[in-house]
Amino acid sequence: MSDRLHIAIALDGAGWHPAGWRDAGVKPAALFGADYWVEQARVAERGLVDFVTIEDSLALQTGSAFSRDDRTDHVTGRLDAVALAARIAPETSHIGIVATTDTLQTEPFHLATSLATLDYVSGGRAGWRLRAAGVGENANFGRRDPFELTLERYETPEVQAQIARQFDEAADVVEVVRRLWDSWQDDAIIRDQSTGRFLDRDRLHHVNFSSPAFSVAGPSITPRPPQGQVLVTALGHATVPYRLAARSADLLYVTPTSLADAERIVREVRALEAEVRRDLPPLRIFADLVVLIDDTTARAEARLAAWNDLDGGKYTSDALIVAASASQLADLLEDWRPAGIEGYRLRPASVHRDLPAITEQLVPELQRRGVFRHEYESDTLRGHLGIQRPVNRYVTTEVSA
């Protein structure tokens, strides 16, 4: 594990607290403009964070994982995450940009080319947060049978089997996407104007991947990404998504609620890596936290309480909600590191208040403690995280033969 802490920021609407958009300093009309998102990424980059993630889904946002709501007082609607990331990339220079996409409704070939394109547009700073379809997404496409997911039925064998099938399919999607990224060897493009030879066709490869859900011949239409493989990340709360990450991802976001819980999760994930015989480098494990940062913990807690009252009830999240001063939050980040937590994905309750607080208060505090960088030392997302650029699988096959 690195001596330095890694920090990512999860961007979503006006922030993660549903009442955050009603703060007096927020301009709601800006939420669907490119400049709004570019500025958030720039603020994060000024804080030298490793990357930002951009949330996305193929259905309207909902307050529950198990049902849709009809509330009209929450931010509703999103811009496409990959397209937005491509818009942000030229306006930043170092920060990684991780776009969220669905693995079940989006064709793997399209995923491979769009994410590889993002890596080119960003100069090697692209990442991918994969997710399996949630509530309501099947109905927007009509290609799959409706899947009723309710809290009452969640633990039933039928629902658990369906969830397992979805995550197995997600693993197949990641596998074929990774093969497509490798389907062009790094030296496939010759660009010799004198001979008129642009491409070495022998260095392009068919992937010929088949699964119960799809088949892809390949090769990709996009050359191998600058990072070789775009960084693959996933969010997990339980064994099934942990197993998907162990099989397929480079980085896993988890949601512990305490040091002991973090220790338990890391033990389970490492055991699953051994169980699936992982052939990628060990997973990087980040903990997700919803954060409200103020000059004192009392002020942060008062803001949380006021926003809860404004929203009509206590805000709950899949991740731990931390209302604290920057110093106390830094204590927590350091306290969990011995459990095997290498970094944190911070979800600012308000991008208007808490995103600047992360970069202007928390980051300097971590720098004073000697656990966070003082400047970017790499130009790629993999470089920020110390994850090497992988060798192309087809080159490896040729050498071993």
By the 8 A CB rule, do 25 and 353 touch? yes
Q: What's the predicted TM-score (pTM) here?
A: 0.94
pLDDT at residue 66, rounded to an integer: 57
By the 8 A CB rule, do 308 and 314 touch? yes
- Distances 355 to 78, 82, 93, 175, 346 between C-alpha atoms, Å: 19, 21, 19, 34, 9
E strand or H helix that includes residue 92: none
E strand or H helix that includes residue 341: none
Q: Where do the domains of the chain lie, and which CATH numbers do they carry?
A: 6-142+229-400 (3.20.20.30)
Neighbour count for residue 338 (Cβ, 10 Å): 11
Give 350-372 pLDDT, tens digit per residue: 999 999 999 999 999 999 999 99
Neighbour count for residue 107 (Cβ, 10 Å): 11
Residue 142 has pLDDT above 80, yes or no: no
Phi, psi of 277 (to 5 degrees): 55, 55
By the 8 A CB rule, do 1 and 270 touch? no
E strand or H helix that includes residue 104: none
Of 62, 234, 238, 101, nearest to 160 by C-alpha is 238
Residue 211 has pLDDT above 80, yes or no: yes
Residue 139 has pLDDT above 70, yes or no: yes
Give 31-82 pLDDT, tens digit per residue: 999 999 999 999 999 999 999 999 998 878 876 665 667 788 999 899 999 9
**C-alpha count within 13 angstroms, C-beta hemisphere, residue 239:** 7
Q: Cα–Cα–Cα angle for 371, 376, 382, nearest 5°?
A: 95
By the 8 A CB rule, do 9 and 358 touch? yes
pLDDT-derived band at 401 (thresholds 50, 70, 90) equals very low
Give 151-174 pLDDT, tens digit per residue: 666 678 877 778 888 899 999 999
Q: Cα–Cα–Cα angle for 322, 48, 33, nearest 5°?
A: 80
